[in-house]
Structures are given as structure tokens and as C-alpha cells.
Amino acid sequence: MVEQTYRCTNCLAETVTRTFDVSHLSITCEGCGEFARFVNGAVYEQFREFEESPPEHLAWEKLSRAEKFLVSNGVVREGRSIEDFETGE
């Protein structure tokens, strides 16, 4: 199996690679020292795209980082459309 990269959602700098493909890992980050969620690389890339060009119908800037990763995961790993998500406003 191809190695997957996972990125710390706390510091956004530290990465680890594993030979399995899951949405995230929960481990202690060697970079920031926090027990943190490491998100799948494809999910992180979608998160970055949304950060650079926020979805028009969501109040993206009002979402927490965790909520942003949840939306990004839904789009990448669950095949959901960005229109499936609402901010409740």
C-alpha cells in the first residue's frame, strides 16, 4: 500500500506517514508536544483550498478549525458536496 501523510491539526507543521489510509490519527505531536489529531493529507489539502478560497455559502471564517476539518473531510473522504453543509445562519 502507498504511504499516506498526516498533518497535525494543532500546529499545522508536523507530519507523519503511515502505510494505511484513515481520516485521521490521534497521537502526540513531536513538533508542538500536544496530543493532537493528525488529519489525512488529502483532507488537509482541501482545508487549505477552502482557506484560500472560502466556500461562498458558508460563513467559513466563523467555523472553528475542527469544524473546517470536518467539512473538508466530508468533501474529500465521504464524497459530500460543499452545499451539504450549513453554518446555521
| Distance, C-alpha 65 to centroid of its chain | 8
Q: What is the dihedral of CA 19, 82, 80, 61, to 10 degrees?
A: 50
pLDDT in tens, 35-83: 999 999 999 999 999 999 999 889 999 999 999 999 999 999 999 999 8
Model confidence at 88: pLDDT above 70: no
39, 6 contact by CB (below 8 A): yes
Q: Residue with C-alpha cell 484513515?
A: 22
Give this prediction's pTM. 0.90
Distances (CA, A) of 61 to 67, 68, 70: 11, 9, 14
Give the model's pLDDT for residue 55.
Answer: 92
Give the model's pLDDT for residue 57.
Answer: 86
Mean pLDDT of 1-30: 95
How are beta strands 24-28 and 15-18 bridged, if at all? Answer: unpaired
Give the model's pLDDT for residue 14.
Answer: 98
